[in-house]
């Protein structure tokens, strides 16, 4: 319970900080909207039977992923630049638990992205906003946010040795948009890509959100998404232990 | 060249390779597959559109870093207090930016065509390189405007991304201009890349350089207008900065 309270308080603080950051709070919300708009135009002009609501939901989750991928990779580095990394590492809580609210905050901004994209599609392109299973849709969004936060945590601790960690975060933006079926059905991609999609939680999060909105069965996808998110967190804890051990052994915690 | 190397901090391979070589390839693939999914246009359409449009990333970011970066290095006042003529000072910095932008777009065109299996006629390759160079030149003009604004605003990365986004939608890189609302396709005529992308597509379809000369002329004109506007803005902000003592304020 104390850990949950700790995560909640830290998440609130991180979320407030993110929302006041021009890059994370404004840039990361606006930027995916340009891609969403382009996709809406392409689908509207195309001859595919796929509806604009399909594109709208996909574009909305694209925005959720953007908010995590571009900034989570450098979450640990930011603490290093601010000079707070040593204090956080020395705190009695496990460092992963300290870092998780930061990536959870970024993932939460994704809800803002999702809402903005759906509303943009509704008012600028007339895409209907009908959600068949509102409750399941809400669960799917929250589950996807948690899984994205887990993946963001894994990014944050894995990229810490790279001085330009933000580049690696950016680097994963397009590939995940492409291979997780946000706007392109997985059946269109080469066969060898599919196993990669299956181990990425965004694939299942996207499926769950789409199934709940369009009237399918989102629960299996949601459970897979959450399961993978938990696996990412477990990996992230292991990587954190390793990274901190190395940093202490070499005295390299504050080196950039 | 010295300023470019000193201030464009993306030149390290850890940033340059993912940002300049791999990301444009994924942008091309993303839109080629979206096009396939939507049943709109061919892979060649998206290859050419996105390879050229991606030149905006090096042109916008490098130009703003090459000028706005002086502020963060605390060297801006030393430069502006010098009697150095301003035209070579500002436009000189844009030359490596143009070459770099053209290089990035050309590599994207090459790697994208290999991955997607798009055949570009051998006879079109040299004219395409010229188009890529003109597109980069034109966008560097807009980059100069962006650089001037970076003397006044704190978050230039956000502004550069926003400009990139507008170019993605408006220039016909992914959406045929006749599929855009009228006001958007009209506005696109005044943006970098619109004419270059159209010229490149015609060249890839077998047109000669003479056939697209008017498009290239229009692209150069657009770039020149932005370049002059950028230079005027830089001079204006320089004057304002002196008047209000806001040169180093960030």
Tens digits of per-residue pLDDT, A162-182? 777 777 778 888 899 999 988
Q: Is B82 exposed, middle or buried (0-12, 13-18, 19+ CB in 10 A)?
A: exposed
Range of the domain at B110: 2-244
Task: Specify the higher pLDDT residue, B202 or B14.
Answer: B202
Residues A114/A212, Cβ–Cβ less than 8 Å: no
Closest in B26, B40, B157 to A46, CB measured: B40
Asked if residue B239 is part of any domain, the answer here is yes
How high is the pLDDT of residue A204?
95
Range of the domain at A207: 2-250
pLDDT class of B248 with cuts at 50, 70, 90: low
Asked if residue A255 is part of any domain, the answer here is no
User: What average pLDDT does chain B have?
Assistant: 87
pLDDT class of B14 with cuts at 50, 70, 90: confident
Q: How many domains does chain B have?
A: 1
Spatial neighbors of B227 by CB under 8 A, at least 6 apart, are: B91, B94, B140, B141, B144
Cβ contacts below 8 Å, chain A against chain B, sum to: 113
- d(Cα B136, Cα B96) in Å, to the nearest integer? 11
Under an 8 A CB cutoff, do B33 and A50 touch?
Answer: no
Closest in B39, B165, B179 to A31, CB measured: B165
Task: Find the mean pLDDT for residues A22-38.
Answer: 79
The CA-atom distances, in angstroms, between A122 and each of A74, A114, A125, A128, B150 are: 34, 12, 6, 6, 34
pLDDT class of B94 with cuts at 50, 70, 90: confident
pLDDT in tens, B108-154: 999 999 999 999 888 889 999 999 999 999 999 999 998 888 877 77
Spatial neighbors of A217 by CB under 8 A, at least 6 apart, are: A211
Asked if residue A132 is part of any domain, the answer here is yes
Asked if residue B249 is part of any domain, the answer here is no
How high is the pLDDT of residue A196?
94
Closest residue of chain B to A180, computed from CA coordinates: B30
Asked if residue A21 is part of any domain, the answer here is yes
How high is the pLDDT of residue A88?
84
Residues A173/A69, Cβ–Cβ less than 8 Å: yes
Closest to B32 in 3D by CA, of B44, B24, B16, B19: B44
Q: What per-residue string of b and e applies to B208-223 under the rule 16 or more CB within 10 Å gives b?
A: ebeebeebbebbbebb
Which residues of chain B make contact with A26, given a CB cutoff of 8 A?
A: 158
Which contiguous run of DSSP H or E holds residue A134? Answer: helix A134-158
Q: Where are the alpha helices (DSSP H) in B82-193?
A: 86-116, 122-149, 156-170, 182-188
pLDDT class of A25 with cuts at 50, 70, 90: low
- d(Cα B175, Cα A45) in Å, to the nearest integer? 8
- d(Cα A152, Cα A169) in Å, to the nearest integer? 9
Asked if residue B36 is part of any domain, the answer here is yes
Under an 8 A CB cutoff, do A184 and B33 touch?
Answer: yes
> What is the predicted ipTM?
0.87
Q: What per-residue string of b and e applies to B111-138 under the rule 16 or more CB within 10 Å gives b?
A: bbbeebebebeeebeebbebbbbbbbbb
Closest approach of chain B CAs to the CA of A20, in angstroms? 12
Q: How many domains does chain A have?
A: 1
Task: Find the mean pLDDT for residues A132-138.
Answer: 92
Token code pair at residue A85: 């990394």
Q: pTM (2 decimals)?
A: 0.88
Residues A59/A182, Cβ–Cβ less than 8 Å: yes
Asked if residue A121 is part of any domain, the answer here is yes
- d(Cα B60, Cα A175) in Å, to the nearest integer? 23
Asked if residue B73 is part of any domain, the answer here is yes
Asked if residue A89 is part of any domain, the answer here is yes
Asked if residue A216 is part of any domain, the answer here is yes
What is the share, in percent, of chain B residues with pLDDT greater than 70? 94
Asked if residue A113 is part of any domain, the answer here is yes
Asked if residue B250 is part of any domain, the answer here is no
């Amino acid at each position: 319970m104390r850990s949950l309270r700790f995560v909640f308080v830290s998440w609130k603080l991180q979320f407030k900080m993110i929302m006041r950051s021009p890059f994370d709070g404004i840039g990361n919300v606006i930027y995916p909207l340009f891609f969403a708009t382009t996709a809406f135009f392409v689908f509207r002009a195309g001859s595919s039977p796929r509806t604009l609501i399909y594109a709208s939901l996909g574009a909305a989750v694209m925005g959720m992923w953007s908010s995590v991928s571009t900034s989570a990779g450098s979450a640990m580095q930011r603490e290093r630049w601010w000079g707070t990394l040593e204090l956080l590492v020395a705190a009695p809580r496990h460092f992963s638990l300290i870092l998780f609210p930061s990536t959870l905050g970024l993932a939460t901004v994704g809800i803002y992205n999702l809402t903005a994209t759906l509303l943009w599609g509704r008012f600028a392109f007339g895409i209907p906003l009908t959600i068949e299973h509102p409750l399941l849709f809400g669960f799917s969004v929250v589950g996807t946010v948690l899984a994205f936060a887990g993946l963001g945590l894994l990014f944050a601790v894995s990229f810490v040795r790279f001085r330009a960690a933000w580049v690696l975060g950016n680097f994963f933006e397009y590939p995940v948009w492409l291979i997780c079926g946000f706007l392109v059905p997985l059946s269109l991609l080469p066969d060898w890509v599919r196993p990669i999609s299956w181990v990425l939680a965004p694939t299942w999060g996207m499926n769950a959100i789409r199934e709940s909105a369009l009237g399918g069965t989102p629960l299996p996808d949601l459970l897979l998404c959450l399961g993978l998110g938990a696996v990412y967190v477990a990996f992230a804890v292991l990587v954190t232990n390793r990274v901190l051990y190395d940093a202490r052994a070499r005295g390299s915690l504050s080196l950039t | 060249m010295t300023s470019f190397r000193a201030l464009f901090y993306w030149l390290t391979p850890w940033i340059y390779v993912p940002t300049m070589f791999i990301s444009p390839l994924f942008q091309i693939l993303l839109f080629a597959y979206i096009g396939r999914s939507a049943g709109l246009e061919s892979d060649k359409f998206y290859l050419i559109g996105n390879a050229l449009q991606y030149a905006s990333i090096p042109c916008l970011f490098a130009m703003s870093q090459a000028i706005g970066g002086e502020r963060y290095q605390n060297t801006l006042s030393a430069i502006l207090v010098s009697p150095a003529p301003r035209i070579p000072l500002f436009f000189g910095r844009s030359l490596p930016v143009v070459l770099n932008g053209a290089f990035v777009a050309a590599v994207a065109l090459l790697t994208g065509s290999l991955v997607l299996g798009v055949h570009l006629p051998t006879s079109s390759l040299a004219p395409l390189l010229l188009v890529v160079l003109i597109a980069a030149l034109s966008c560097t003009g807009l980059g100069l405007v962006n650089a001037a604004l970076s003397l006044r605003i704190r978050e230039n990365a956000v502004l550069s991304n926003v400009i990139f986004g507008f170019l993605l939608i408006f220039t016909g890189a992914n959406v045929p201009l006749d599929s855009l609302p009228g006001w958007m396709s009209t506005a696109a005529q005044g943006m970098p890349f619109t004419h270059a992308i159209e010229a490149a597509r015609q060249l890839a379809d077998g047109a000669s350089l003479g056939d697209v000369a008017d498009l290239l002329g229009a692209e150069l004109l657009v770039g020149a207008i932005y370049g002059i506007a950028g230079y005027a803005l830089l001079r204006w902000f320089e004057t304002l900065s002196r008047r209000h003592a806001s040169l180093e304020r960030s």
